[in-house]
Amino acid sequence: MTNEWNARLLDTQRFTESAGHAAFHTGLHSLARVQEVCDNPGVNATQTECEWSLSGEIRGSGPRRQSWLQLEAAVSLPQHCQRCLEPMSVDIKVNRWFRFVDDEATALAEDDDCEEDLLVTSGEFNAFELLEDELLLALPLIVSHADCQPPASTALVDDLPHPFAALAGLKKSKT
């Protein structure tokens, strides 16, 4: 699909005022920071694609007029289960809304009092950086299968010598 919008140099004001919508298919190899957290990223980096879209809109009118941007994304990332250590694929989905403000000072002043995330209006906004940030934030802290068992540990086998058994023989008996 061809878009009239450049995701690396997005004019956020024009995009939101025209209720812009753009859909993208980006290979994992183009998302360097996301690729860094993947297991064996080079193997599937050219085949793995992130499907994502941007939608803009204006909410309110007059002094309450606000520009908003929606980011939706979906990708399946190669990871290793931290329980069984086998390779697995983690499905990441993002659906976030962001409100634009005029400058960084306004964003800092309003940040503590609002629930939504704030971005500064820009004529050269890089949506790829926002996409990477949100995909990284959406990764689970602990990656594991829903139903797997950890590998058996050899340290738990009973026929191994116990490290303090020799000390028991040195103990003086109380007579």
91-118 pLDDT tens trace: 999 999 999 988 888 888 888 888 888 8
Assess contact for 36 and 45: CB atoms under 8 A: no
Task: Identify the residue whose tokens are 């061809």.
Answer: 2
Angle at 136 between CA 130 and CA 142, to 5 degrees: 165
State the pTM of this model.
0.77
What type of residue is 94?
Answer: V
Q: How confident is the model at residue 1 (pLDDT cuts 50, 70, 90)?
A: very low
Report the distance separating Cα 64 and Cα 61, nearest Å: 5
Stretch 18-30: mean pLDDT? 92
170 SS3 class: helix
